[in-house]
Amino acid sequence: MKSTNPTTGETIETYDDHTESEIEERLSNAETAFEAWRERPVAERETKLAAVATLLRERTEEYAELMTREMGKPIAQAEAEVEKCAWVCDHYAEHAGRYLQDEQHASPPGSKVKTIYEPLGPVLAIMPWNFPFWQAFRFIAPYLTAGNVGLLKHASNVPGCALAIEEVFRDAGYPEGTFQSLLIPSDRVDTVLSDSRVKAATLTGSGPAGQAVAATAGENLKKTVLELGGSDPYVVLDDADVEAAATTGAWSRNLNGGQSCIAAKRFVVHDAVYEEFIKRFVAEIESFTVGDPMEQDTDVGPQARQDLMEGIHQQVAESVDAGATVLTGGEPLDCEGAYYPPTVLADVPPGCPVDAEEVFGPVAAVYRVSDEDAAIEKANDTEFGLGASIWTDDLDRGERIAGRIDAGCTYINELVKSDPRVPFGGVKESGYGRELSEAGIKEFVNPKTVWSQQPQTNDEDEVTIE
């Protein structure tokens, strides 16, 4: 397993995969750690998490540079990612106890009934490279604070990030085995997930990876949460603030080099504002600085790997061959590194790659529609259902349309984003389950009913109906 700088193609460092005996040791450590960790008061777990937030902020520069070296994220965006990880730790350090409070229920005289929330045990997380810290912290912060322990199988091109995340929890004083990274290839995941000591799994990644994890987990009756791909529609209606929609849309498509499941990917624009939107949208995209991701003023760096960049270009080339028009970009940059320029395609024919597939890079597909119903139809014309963005000056109209779009989350006059305070997840081929907020922390707990009944005070027979 090696870490390669996508800006230069140079190998940063090589890591040995964990051996069978090392994996066994980590599984055993997780099982042992869980028995003690689950008994710690929630308040104590919250305090530990707050310490992690402090360390993250102290090490922002170090961890941001590590992300940028391993997967090419512009340094300013990497610094923001570390801060977001600290924020999710702050959130659960403040709210986990309230989220996990016992829930009281109505009950007959002489009884008391409540639901308590108990952790499940070791949770395996299979995480991607595109947000190498945030994706991991999105699962770690709630699940560990609920009393579970974590095992992270990170993407093979960001092993340094995986070990750094393990380091920060160790340095914050978490007990040994509470959180561990597994440096293993994808073909070893099935064996780990099948192990009886692993009680649940969460995955952020591709559809095929999600299907494989869900199948193995289902065979072993283990709970899963899957956040898979997306082809998010960005709907601009006839009454939208076109300048704001174009500016935000350009950033939503190109943030993190376009390598985001919730990036705006299909821009569905009402005919009445189409020409103005295109003009502003292309101009905004062409203003982005593409270059060295270590420079603070860089907006778009390289793609995370050379093969990923080549795959994006193939999708673009095949779509152009099918009839799409390139408005800007469209060819790999002639320079060292896996650079693909921000690209806009119009006249996109149905069924071509940028229309039918997820494009995981800085490529926007723009569609002209005649009315609101056509916009909704095009927005839903995808197998995915992660997020959607709607732009209109009429918020009532926006909320009505949001109810007709098939997505796990919709944002009106805002780009789609994940936020610790609200549930996050998708529908259709974008997965199931929710992360973040109260819903997220309760995905991997046992909501146990506890019924307490006063002892009988007489000899009368009691008839029980089950």
* Bridge partners (DSSP) listed for residue 95: none
Q: Return d(Cα 70, Cα 23) in angstroms, integer.
A: 24
Active-site residue among 261, 358, 429, 443?
261
Q: Are 452 and 112 in contact (CB under 8 A)?
A: yes
Q: Are 394 and 374 in contact (CB under 8 A)?
A: no
Residue 85 in tokens: 């990880």
Residues 6+ apart with CB under 8 A from 59: 82, 168
Pair type for strands 445-453 and 111-119: antiparallel
The sign of the torsion formed by the CA atoms of 43, 44, 45, 48 equals positive
Q: Return d(Cα 258, Cα 265) in angstroms, integer.
A: 9
CB atoms within 10 A of CB 283: 13
Does the annotation mark 227 as catalytic?
Answer: yes
Does the annotation mark 261 as catalytic?
Answer: yes
Burial of 335 (0-12, 13-18, 19+ CB in 10 A): exposed
Q: Return d(Cα 196, Cα 190) in angstroms, integer.
A: 12
Residues in the chain: 466
Per-position b or e across 407-430, b if 16+ CB within 10 A of its CB:
bbbbbbbebbbbebeebbbbebbb
The sign of the torsion formed by the CA atoms of 365, 370, 372, 374 equals negative
Active-site residue among 70, 79, 227, 284?
227
- Catalytic positions: 227, 261
